[in-house]
């Protein structure tokens, strides 16, 4: 049981390049999330998906797009990377229920130069 | 002022000491999470609380809804407990975890 798997673990991009962060969960969760973690700040929600086929903006969605490919997979795309997007990105999932834990991936450390 | 404040920001202690990490929040909540993040690693959920107290091994989490305060305690601390501990709250009336608000974390270092 792998839980939440995200790839890649590390990535360096040049300004203007694009990339997609992949996330998959095997817990049959309806809800999936993308967060970014920056020094001195709490995790901030970029986008979330409450169910397959639906996505919603979080607190910091600018410069990102997402795709909920199916119930298992939720990808995050940077179309034109900027140095301000240098961060650690976490994917998470949870059951669609009030009283439920969230399960996180191992994180992707992205540097944009 | 952040909605979720943790204290201390950094904590260094000797192996075996009793550890307390505090979390205060300013909004009405329906649940509070304690998370653990090891250096260079992922984030693991330790507890989810809506009232009272929970215990897993050497870890104890308590919450006082009226005072808007939660504590995470570690008994008989060990170097492997060294990590960042993060508090997150879900505001009242929100459904699911998409509205979690996170504290900035407490970095704990346990010295052998």
Mean pLDDT of B54-79: 97
Mean pLDDT of B62-76: 97
Spatial separation of the C-alpha atoms in residues B112 and B107, rounded to whole Å = 16
Q: Please choose, from the candidates B42, B41, B14, B3, the residue with its C-alpha nearest in 3D space to the C-alpha of residue B108.
A: B14
Rg (alpha carbons) of chain A, rounded to whole number: 13
Query: CB neighbours of A111 closer than 8 A, spacing ≥ 6?
Result: A11, A12, A13, A86
Mean pLDDT of B13-31: 95
pLDDT of residue A77: 98
pLDDT of residue B1: 60
Q: Please choose, from the candidates A11, A42, A9, the residue with its C-alpha nearest in 3D space to the C-alpha of residue A23.
A: A9
Residue B1 touches partner A, C-beta closer than 8 Å: no
Three-class DSSP category at B25: strand
Query: CB neighbours of A88 closer than 8 A, spacing ≥ 6?
Result: A36, A37, A38, A107, A108, A109, A110
Q: Do A90 and B2 touch (CB under 8 A)?
A: no
Spatial separation of the C-alpha atoms in residues A97 and B79, rounded to whole Å = 35
| Closest Cβ opposite residue B104 in set A40, A96, A98 | A40
Mean pLDDT of B4-19: 97
Spatial separation of the C-alpha atoms in residues B52 and A67, rounded to whole Å = 39
- Please give the structure tokens belonging to residue B5: 């404040």
pLDDT of residue B40: 77
Q: Please choose, from the candidates A72, A80, A82, the residue with its C-alpha nearest in 3D space to the C-alpha of residue A20.
A: A80
Assign B51 a pLDDT band (cuts: 50, 70, 90).
very high
Mean pLDDT of B76-99: 87
pLDDT at B106 over 90: yes
Q: Do B42 and A104 touch (CB under 8 A)?
A: yes
pLDDT of residue B93: 66
pLDDT at B97 over 90: no
- What residues in chain A have per-residue pLDDT under 50? none
């Amino acid at each position: 049981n792998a839980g939440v798997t995200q790839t890649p673990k590390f990535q360096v991009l040049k300004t203007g390049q694009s990339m997609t962060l992949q996330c998959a969960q095997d817990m049959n969760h309806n809800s999936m999330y993308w967060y970014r973690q920056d020094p001195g700040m709490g995790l901030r929600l970029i986008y979330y998906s409450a169910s397959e086929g639906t996505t919603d903006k979080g607190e910091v969605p600018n410069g990102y797009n997402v795709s909920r490919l199916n119930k298992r997979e939720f990808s995050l795309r940077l179309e034109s990377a900027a140095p301000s997007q240098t961060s650690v990105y976490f994917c998470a999932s949870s059951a669609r229920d009030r009283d439920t834990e969230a399960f996180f991936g191992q994180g992707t450390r992205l540097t944009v130069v | 002022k952040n909605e979720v404040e943790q204290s201390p920001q950094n904590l260094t202690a000797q192996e075996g000491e009793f550890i307390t990490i505090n979390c205060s929040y300013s909004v009405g909540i329906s649940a509070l999470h304690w998370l653990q993040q090891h250096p260079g690693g992922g984030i693991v959920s330790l507890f989810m609380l809506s009232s009272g107290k929970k215990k897993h091994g050497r870890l104890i989490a308590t919450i006082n809804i009226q005072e808007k305060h939660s504590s995470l305690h570690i008994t008989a601390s060990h170097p492997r407990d060294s990590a960042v501990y993060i508090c997150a709250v879900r505001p009242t009336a929100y459904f699911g975890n998409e509205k979690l608000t996170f504290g900035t974390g407490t970095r704990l270092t346990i010295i052998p």
